[in-house]
Structures are given as structure tokens and as C-alpha cells.
Structure 1
Amino acid sequence: MLLRTALITLMLTALSGLGGLLAAFVHTPLPFMLGSLLTSGAIALIWVDKLPADYKFPMKFRMLFMIVIGVMIGTRVTPEVISALPSYLTSFALLTVFVAAAHGLNYVIFRRLGGYDRATAFYSGTPGGLMESIAMGEAAGANIAILTMQQFLRIIAVITLVPVGLSIWYGAPVGSASGQTLARAGADLHALPLVMAIGLVGLLIGRAIRLPAYQLTGPLLAAAIVTVTGWADLPVPQWLVNLAQVVIGASLGMRFAGLGGRSMIRATWLALLSVAGMLALGLICALILRPLTGLHLDVLLISFAPGGVTEMALVALSLHANPAIVTLHHIYRIILTVVEMTFAARLLPPDGDSPQ
């Protein structure tokens, strides 16, 4: 069983890697993530009957590469970034308004246009807290299949539309699509054991203290401490960053397995409408904050884009925005979303309707 799962996972990763290489060849934004995501998504939708019925992409395998990304982001945390934290209070305040407004907008979209019952619409519309939304939605009687699909489509739509939109905005490929590197030049394997050791320690601590998205934020915090204190240098080679993107993209694409038909079509256009609304709100917030904070518009937009922490951090890396700043905003967004939906759920009236 384990051998079969390992072989299938390696095959899917290899095929997704080919998709990433093809995407890099045609200069798409964030090619290794988006190319692998589209490839594995196509496999999950078209050839799902060729996969064993009980197969699931192993999350522990994905976690190893999330550790790599977390450590890499953590090395970008500098004393200058830490000293600038008070200057982000304005953007955090506006992010608080954004979370409430985005959740309210999404609830209307999923409830009125999608015809979902109240619980499914409410938890499908949260602008973050993927696992928390699914867990709380299940307890509230939401349709878990629809809820899970909407939440993953949100993340996939954001990590696809944001880099493509920025490329169109600037009139030229940006970030990784223009050939920029994500890792420091000359990095080799000599520090890899230390990178993984620091990352694993951070992951265990993050899980113990219940950090949001601890698979990423735990290693990030550990690497940041090591880097800021000057205890060690943690260079990550470019090929490993590319491989991490392939694995993360492949794991997201496999979430489409078993989906299809009218529910898939409806979920897709609802997700696109929802994400468009949230990105519009995020753009308004970014335009307001730009003269107040001095941060670039693309950094602010990425900070408000409602994608997963890992995925949006990778977008930030791709665009050479400061991933530490972006990640701080997304951690706050997730914490705030969990708190907000916990209290708002108490105001949600019971509903016996079932999703249409």
C-alpha cells in the first residue's frame, strides 16, 4: 500500500514537473506552481478512474516542501523588517475591515446566487482559515463536498489570477516569468541538513503552540530567529525552490479528483465571482494604503489577496516582493478570519435548506 502510494505520488510529481517546465518555457507567471497545478488538476479530472479509489496525495510529503519554503521566507526576515512592524498598524487595521467585508460579500454570492444553504454559504465564504472553515462547517451541518471545493477553488483562483493580472498590469512578464531567481546565487547542498533541521524544529514548535498554517509559519519563525541573531546562514538552492513549487501545485491540483458536472461548473463561476469581488476590495485597500505606508501597490495587493499563506508567499517570492511583510499580513488575516467566523456563526440562524 505504502509502496503503491509512493510510486503514484512520484509519477504525479514527475508529470506535474513537466507541466511546470512547459509553463516556464512559455513564460507564464509562477510557472512551476501553476504548471504543476494545471497538470495534476487535469489528471484528477480526466483520468481519475486510472488512480486507485483510495489514493490521496500524501500531505506529509507536501509538508517537507512547505518546510523548505517556510525556511526560505524566514531568511528574508531582517532586523529592518522587525523594526518596521509598527508602520504596518494602518494596513492591519484596514485588513480587519477587509475580512468582515469580504466574508459578507461572499455570503451573499454563495447564498443568493449559488443557492447554498446558510451554513454552506457562510463557511464557503470565509476569506481564509481553510482547515478551520472546513472543520467548523462540518460541525454546523454544511455540505462538506461543496465547502471544500469552494475553498480550494478560492486559493487556486487567487494564485492564478494575481500573477497573471500583475503581468498584464505591467505589460510584461513579472517575477519568475521574467526569469528572476528566487534563491540566492551560488547556494548549494552544504546547508541543506541544517535547513531541514531548523525547519523541522520550527514545525514542531509551531504545532505545539498552534500557530496558524504551522507547517509554514513554524519553520518561518525558526529560520527568522536563526537569521536575525546571526547564528547561521541558511541558503536554499534554486532547484529545491522549484521542486517545492511543483509538489505544492500538484497537491492542490489533485483536490479536483472526483469532481465534475454541474456542481463543478457552478462552483467554478461562483469562485471566480467571489475572488473577483475580494480582489477588488483588496485593490481598493491597497490604493488607500499606498500613500499612507509607502509600500508598493503590488506588495499591498498581494498582502490582501485571499490565497493560502504558502501560495501567496510564493507569489511574493516570485514577484520579488518582501515575503516576510506579505506573510505577516496573511497570518493576521487567518487569525482574524477564525475569530470573526467563530463569533459571527453564533448569529447565523438555523436553516434546513440543502444546497441545490
Structure 2
Amino acid sequence: MTPRMLAATLLLTLLSAGGGFVASLTPMPLPFMLGALLTSGAVAMFQAHRLPDGYAYPMPIRMFFMAIIGVMVGAQVTSEILQQIPALGISIIALTLFTGLAHATNYQIFRRIGGYDRSTAFFSGTPGGLMESLAMGEEAGANLQVLTMLQFMRIILVISLLPLGLSIWYGVPLGSASGISTEVAPVGLDAVPLALAVGVAGTILGRWIRLPAGQLTGPLLAAAIVSGTGLAPLPIPQWLINSAQVVIGASLGLRFAGMRGKSMLRATWLSFMSVAAMLSLGLALALLVAHVTGVKFDILLISYAPGGVTEMALVALSLNANPALVTLHHIYRIFLTVIGMGVVARWMGLRGRG
């Protein structure tokens, strides 16, 4: 990393942290992540010329904090949670149904209403598998700029609208704006080295066995082993949790670069239609499965919401909504989406523009 890029990263992170702090003084849900996202997004849209050419938020920094989030989620795993996994069959069946219906609905929205070609509409409509959708879409001749914009708008809208909707549902803001903390008691600096060691070990494990979203799920698995077996507790200081939210928000906000004018307006309203349809479908399935199984409604709704694994883990953590089970659902959704995307794309003959 050049000195100029290092300086840009430091300044952007500080600005995003300031945005997160200001948001924490308001009723905004998940304020440190969403406040950072809005601040970084404003920089990307209106001050991008001040950033180095080709600037992107450094992946090693994002991966470090994703590992921290993985440890936070894995630390929630207990023997009681593990006993619930066999009972989730109905929920997994519902998630399978959700994934297929969501993709089909999105395709119709982007193809019939948006007027995009078949390849662009198909790969833009996947309810997960961001990087795989971009790679396979480019090979199939999709419009990569539109595809990228719609996929990132999906994630950004979900992580913005879902916490807001849940805040309205419960009548209180979520996350640090409401005073909710994952700390059971104040956590000192002495707890950090073990968390970092588990995160590093988990990252290596995730790469070695090629876990999906391994930079998150590897540390999650390692922390789950440490916590679930009772080897050691893994408390995380609240300041580190807030820092992880700031970095994730800042890196997502940069995706607004170049999204100005008519192209952004078009992508925004189409994405809003898509996300509204998916959240409505997830809501209906969550209510049904909660009635049949007795699993808490909020856990199921977050499990079915098509946001990024990392971001939805943060939403679950902010609500104390069994983040380990939520993350398990999202890993399955991504796996199913990627497998189904390849099979259906081949069946549709998507090798060029439609």
C-alpha cells in the first residue's frame, strides 16, 4: 500500500467513525455500520476525485475485522444452541423455497420492468453469492457495471431496511443506539489476544478447507469450537465491535462510487422493488415457520433476509438473535444460490447477451 493510499484509508476510516458516532446519538439502527456507510458513500459519490486513482478499501483490513465478527458470532455458540440444529429441517426447507422464488422474482423484475438483457437480469437477481454472480455474469456477457450496482444495492438496502423495520416492529432502535451490547460485563484488553489468536487460526482453517466466505466462517468455526466445548470464554470489547461495524460500513459505502445520475436512480428503484419483494417473501415464510416450529420470528426473518453474511451476522448480534444459527442459514443460502445459479444458467443457455 502506497503512503497516499494509507493516508486515504486512515482519513476515510476516521470520517466514517465520526459518521458512526453521530449516528449513535440518533435512533438509527446499527448506527456505527450505517453511519459509516452513509459517510463513506457520500465521499465516494461527491469527493471521489480526492481519493487515489483506482482506490478500494484495503482488503486485509476488511478481512481482519470480518475475522473479528466471525469470532463474535462463534462465541455465541453453546451446547444448548448445538442441540437446536437437528430441529431446523423445516426452516432449511423454507429457505430452499425462498432462494428459488426470490431469484425467479428478481429475474422478472429486472427483465420485464427494468428491461435488462437475460444475462444481466439473471445474474443481478441472485439472492446471494456476490462474487460468484459477478464472475459468472461477466463470462455470460452480462452488463458488469449494472450487475455490480444491483448486487451491491441489494446488500446495502437489506442491511439498511431490515434493522429499521425491526426497530419499528419492536418500538426501539437496535444496536448501540438502543444501548444494546454484546458485552455481558465490561471487557478489558486482556481478552483481545485470545480473540485475535482464535481469529487467525480460524482464517487459516477457513482457507485450508475452503469454507464459503471462509474469512468469516473459518473464525466462526474456530470460536464455536472454543466456546461450544467450554475450553474458554471469548468476550469481545464493545469498542472492537463498533470498530468492526465502522470498517464494514466504510468499505461498503465506497461501492457508491460512480453511482450518480439516472443510472443510480434506475438501479435504486429496481433494487428497492427487488428487496421489498424478497423481504416480503422472507416475512411470510418466517411467520409460517415460526408458527409451525416455535423458533423465534426475528431469528427466522434475519435468517431469510438476503444480505451479506457478515452484515447479517452484525444485525443478529445487535439483536442478540442467535447469530450462530442466523449465520448457518446464510451460509446455506449462498451455497444453494451458487450451485443453483450454475445449473439454471446452463439450462437457460446464458452464454451471451439475451
Q: TM-score, normalised by structure 1?
A: 0.96
* 2:65 aligned partner: 65
Q: What does 1:65-144 correspond to in 2, within 5 Å?
A: 65-144=65-144
Deviation at 1:350, TM superposition (A): 4.5
Rounded to whole Å, the distance in 1 between the matches of 2:45 and 2:93 is 41
Offset of 1:191 from its aligned partner? Answer: 2.4
Tell me the CA shift for residue 139 of structure 1: 1.4
- Residue 215 (structure 1) aligned with residue 215 (structure 2): yes
> Who is 2:7 aligned against?
7
Task: Tell me how far apart the structure 2 counterparts of residues 172 and 75 of structure 1 sit (CA, whole Å).
Answer: 26
2-structure distance, mates of 1:173, 1:225 = 32
Instruction: Tell me if the contact between 2:75 and 2:224 (Cα under 8 Å) persists in the aligned partners.
Output: yes
Please list the CA deviations of residues 9-60 of structure 1 after superposition, one character each: whole Å capped at 9, or x if unmatched: 1100100011101111012100000000000001100111111222111111
Could you tell me how far 1:227 is from its partner in structure 2? 1.1
Contact residue 184 and residue 238 of structure 1 kept, 8 A: no
Determine what percentage of the aligned residue pairs are the same residue.
Answer: 61
SS in 1 for 2:181: coil
Distance change (3 Å), C-alpha of 1:25 and 1:241: same
Q: Secondary structure at the match of 2:173?
A: coil
Q: Contact 2:313–2:326 at 8 Å: present in 1 too?
A: yes
Please say if residues 140 and 350 of structure 2, whose CA atoms lie closer than 8 Å, have aligned partners that are also in contact: no
1:243 aligns with 2:228: no
Q: Which structure 2 residue ranges, 5 or more long, are not aligned?
A: none
Q: Contact 1:118–1:348 (CA<8 Å) still a contact in 2?
A: no
* 1:203 is the counterpart of 2:203: yes
Looking at structure 2, the residues matched to 209 and 335 of structure 1 have their Cα atoms a distance apart, in angstroms, of 15
Which whole-Å CA distance do the structure 1 matches of 2:248 and 2:313 have between them?
A: 12
Structure 1 runs of 4+ off > 6 angstroms?
A: none
Name the structure 2 match of 1:309: 309
- Distance in 2 between residues matched to 1:177 and 1:225, nearest whole Å: 31
Counterpart of 1:213 in structure 2: which amino acid? A
Instruction: State the Cα deviation string for residues 207-261 of structure 1 (Å, max 9, x = none).
Output: 2222111111000000100112222222110000000000000000001112222
Per the TM alignment, residue 351 of structure 1 is displaced from its structure 2 partner at its CA by 7.5
Indicate conservation of the 8 Å contact 2:142/2:352, yes or no: no
Question: Per-residue deviation at 1:140?
Answer: 1.2
Match of 2:349 in 1: 349
Distance in 1 (alpha carbons) for counterparts of 2:351 and 2:325? 40
- What is the rounded CA distance, in whole Å, between the counterparts of 1:284 and 1:345 in structure 2? 28
1:135-214 equivalent positions in 2, closer than 5 A: 135-214=135-214
Q: For the residues of structure 2 that align with 1:239 and 1:175, how far apart are their CA atoms?
A: 13
3-state DSSP of counterpart to 2:120: helix
Is it true that 1:257 corresponds to 2:257 in the alignment?
yes
The two structures, once aligned, show a CA RMSD in angstroms of: 1.3
Structure 1 unaligned residues grouped into runs of 5+: none
- Residues 99-129 of structure 1: CA distance to partner in whole angstroms, max 9, x if unpaired? 0000000000111111111111111100011
TM-score, structure 2 normalization: 0.97
Give 2:41's aligned residue. Answer: 41
Q: Which amino acid aligns with 2:295?
A: L
